[in-house]
Amino acid sequence: PVAKKPGKVAIIGAGPAGLACAHDLRLMGHQVTIYESSTVAGGMMRLGIPEYRLPREVLQAEIEFIRWLGVDIRYGCKVGRDIDFEELCRTHDAVFIGTGCGRGRRPPVEGGDLEGVLDAVHFLAAVNIGESVEIGQHVVTVGGGNVAFDVARTARRFGGTSTPDEPHHNLVVDAAVVAGRLLHKQVTLLALESEEEMPADPEEIVEASQERVVVQHRRAIKEIRGKNGRVESVITLDVARVFDEQGRFAPEMIPGTEREVPCDSVIFATGQIADLSYLGENSGIKLSPRHTVEVDRTTLATSRKGVYAGGDTAFGPRIVIEAVADGRRAARSIDTQLTGRNDEPVEHLLYRFQAHGYDHPFARGDYELLDRGRVPMVEGEERLTFRAVEIGYDEGQARREGARCLHCWINTEFDSLLIEGSQCIQCRGCVDVCPEGCIDLLDMTRVSMVPTAKSTELQTLISGAGVALIKDETRCIRCGLCARRCPVNCIRMEGFYRTDEFPLLNLADHVV
């Protein structure tokens, strides 16, 4: 509900954390201003994730909606340069920090200051907003995580120099196609890890190699060599191991295994760190040893009253959805601070209905046959453009994928009489038929539980004689086989939905 007395909130950074926080606070009726240093909103969704993986029109539509709600975004306004952090705190009732981890971190390597050495974060940001950036014909990227792959794949697409005064997309697409087909730009990715050890998603590795990015595993960069102040090659060392016996990151190089890789650009994708210099010395905001803002994990409040933080700034580099969740959580805490409203989760009413003739893929018998379908991709040279790589399912494919749905809103319901043991004949049919092994029948002497205020009735039953039917909810795939098997019908499959979510919809009509 809309707050009776709206507050005034400043949000620093228009990344997913800041945007999500602004969205929710605005819906709660507060006045929200986002201060964003870049000329665009979206944070790393716009500046980091390449366009071929996240189409910009999708992102832009979301941002436009948030602006339409009445959120004011001040572009090109860097806190610490254009406006003081203390002033924001003075002029607003609450402040949310969502400035991410936008500074590249690289290992100290000889030659790191030569012309042609770049940070991944800066390289991608420049390409993504069409700023001028020069890369040579042979690019070496260093790192093994997804950022390294984004850099390597973007470098393949990026045909040379883009300038801000020309239409970015056409220039880059044209230049990339020309460079890819005619100039055969070479990209070599140096990774400390073997293929199995790499933290990058396996799909990213496969896709990058399809785009002729050459990955050299178990190689560390020792030195960058140059001529006339420009990069000419990198010297690598073989890596004996990356992790020690305890699984900790402790790379060990093999001396005497130097190899030279000729190149004219080196892009480091070896880590990101938060730039919190705008906080100054006496902000009263505690930082962690990892140089992130320390927060209460439940409320996301910092050590300074009225200031909250979330996303990568508070937890280090993570993923978009976690930043969004943080933004939403902080919005609730800020609303509670401003209005005194209780933030207790509400108990939702559940509507239950019986799922007759339940058509689960497992019960149908094709659960194992229907493999997860890969999303169709753009093939060949067309991939070396900035358009989205995933094309999406056609209707037939989408229906086939939909048929694999595990129907998690349907669950087993055990007849109440079962608890008294009056119907279950302990045939163990459900135990035998369950494909996930999540049901068991145990003698009461083998059952115990931690007592709670709500469990007194169950506690009494457990302390008596008899047999308990136990089900592990975390493994159940809702196939309904136990309900079909039970000879005395004491297991039913029932659907549930929250009445506040679909007040007008009777899902029972949709169950076959």
Number of H helices and E strands in the chain, helices first, is: 16, 21
Say which entry of ligand FAD, ligand SF4, none residue 436 contacts (CB below 5 to 8 A, set by partner kind). Answer: ligand SF4
What residue ranges bind ligand FAD (CB under 6 A)?
Answer: 12-18, 35-38, 43-45, 48-49, 53, 78-80, 98-100, 102, 121, 124, 146-147, 150, 278, 311-313, 317-321, 323
What is the Cα Rg of the chain in Å?
A: 28
Say which entry of ligand SF4, ligand FAD, none residue 147 contacts (CB below 5 to 8 A, set by partner kind). Answer: ligand FAD
Would you mind telling me the total number of residues written for the chain in this entry?
512
- Dihedral angle over CA of 127, 148, 320, 474, nearest 10: 160
In degrees, rounded to 5, the angle at the alpha carbon of residue 59 between the alpha carbons of residues 53 and 65 is: 165
Beta carbon of residue 105, minimum distance to ligand SF4 (angstroms, whole number): 46
Beta carbon of residue 438, minimum distance to ligand SF4 (angstroms, whole number): 5
Say which entry of ligand SF4, ligand FAD, none residue 424 contacts (CB below 5 to 8 A, set by partner kind). Answer: ligand SF4
**Using CB under 6 A, which of the segments 33-41, 125-133, 387-395, 474-482 binds ligand SF4?**
474-482
Asked if residues 51 and 128 have their Cβ atoms less than 8 Å apart, the reply is: yes
Beta carbon of residue 100, minimum distance to ligand FAD (angstroms, whole number): 2
For ligand SF4, give the closer residue by CB, 458 or 476: 476
Say which entry of ligand SF4, ligand FAD, none residue 491 contacts (CB below 5 to 8 A, set by partner kind). Answer: ligand SF4
Count of chain residues binding ligand SF4 (CB under 6 A): 27
For ligand FAD, give the closer residue by CB, 109 or 121: 121
For ligand SF4, give the closer residue by CB, 81 or 356: 356
Asked if residues 435 and 360 have their Cβ atoms less than 8 Å apart, the reply is: no
Residue 491 near ligand SF4 by CB under 6 A: yes
| Site track for ligand SF4 across 452-471, x = CB under 6 A | -----------------x-x
Q: Which amino acid is at 512?
A: V
Residue 476 near ligand SF4 by CB under 6 A: yes
Residue 72 φ/ψ, nearest 5 degrees: -95, 120
Strands (E), 98-167: 103-104, 117-119, 138-142
Residue 482 near ligand SF4 by CB under 6 A: yes
10 Å CB burial of residue 209 (0-12, 13-18, 19+) is middle
Sign of torsion, CA 360 364 366 370? negative
* Residues whose CB is less than 8 angstroms from the CB of residue 389 and which lie 6 or more positions away in sequence, other chains included: 52, 53, 207, 377, 378, 383
From residue 463, how far is each of 84, 449, 511 by CA, in Å?
Answer: 65, 10, 40
Give the C-alpha separation, 150 to 67, whole Å: 29
What is the distance, to the nearest Å, from the Cα of residue 458 to the centroid of all Cα atoms in its chain? Answer: 40
Say which entry of ligand FAD, ligand SF4, none residue 312 contacts (CB below 5 to 8 A, set by partner kind). Answer: ligand FAD
Question: Which pair of structure tokens corresponds to residue 306?
Answer: 């009225």
Residues 357-416 that bind ligand SF4 (CB under 6 A): 412
Say which entry of ligand SF4, ligand FAD, none residue 490 contacts (CB below 5 to 8 A, set by partner kind). Answer: ligand SF4
Say which entry of ligand SF4, ligand FAD, none residue 207 contacts (CB below 5 to 8 A, set by partner kind). Answer: none
Q: Which amino acid is at 261?
A: V
| Site track for ligand SF4 across 413-452, x = CB under 6 A | -----------xxxxxxx--xx-x-xx-------------
Residue 456 φ/ψ, nearest 5 degrees: -65, -40
Beta carbon of residue 363, minimum distance to ligand SF4 (angstroms, whole number): 8
For ligand SF4, give the closer residue by CB, 346 or 465: 465
Asked if residues 161 and 118 have their Cβ atoms less than 8 Å apart, the reply is: no
Beta carbon of residue 364, minimum distance to ligand SF4 (angstroms, whole number): 13
Say which entry of ligand SF4, ligand FAD, none residue 412 contacts (CB below 5 to 8 A, set by partner kind). Answer: ligand SF4
Say which entry of ligand FAD, ligand SF4, none residue 49 contacts (CB below 5 to 8 A, set by partner kind). Answer: ligand FAD
For ligand SF4, give the closer residue by CB, 338 or 438: 438
What is the helix (H) or strand (E) element at residue 94, kind and residue range? strand 94-97
Give the C-alpha separation, 71 to 139, whole Å: 41
For ligand FAD, give the closer residue by CB, 66 or 491: 66
Q: Which of 406, 477, 507, 508 binds ligand SF4 (CB under 6 A)?
A: 477
Indicate the DSSP class of residue 152.
H
DSSP string, 238-287: EEEEEE-TTS-EEEEE-TT--EEEE-SEEEE-S-EE---GGG-S-S---B
In degrees, rounded to 5, the angle at the alpha carbon of residue 94 between the alpha carbons of residues 91 and 97 is: 105
Say which entry of ligand SF4, ligand FAD, none residue 145 contacts (CB below 5 to 8 A, set by partner kind). Answer: none
Say which entry of ligand SF4, ligand FAD, none residue 99 contacts (CB below 5 to 8 A, set by partner kind). Answer: ligand FAD
Question: Edge-to-edge, what's the strand order for the sheet holding 186-190?
Answer: 117-119, 265-268, 138-142, 186-190, 213-216
First to last CA, the chain: 37
Say which entry of ligand SF4, ligand FAD, none residue 426 contacts (CB below 5 to 8 A, set by partner kind). Answer: ligand SF4
For ligand FAD, give the closer residue by CB, 7 or 42: 42
Binding site for ligand SF4 (CB under 6 A): 412, 424-430, 433-434, 436, 438-439, 469, 471, 476-482, 485-486, 488, 490-491
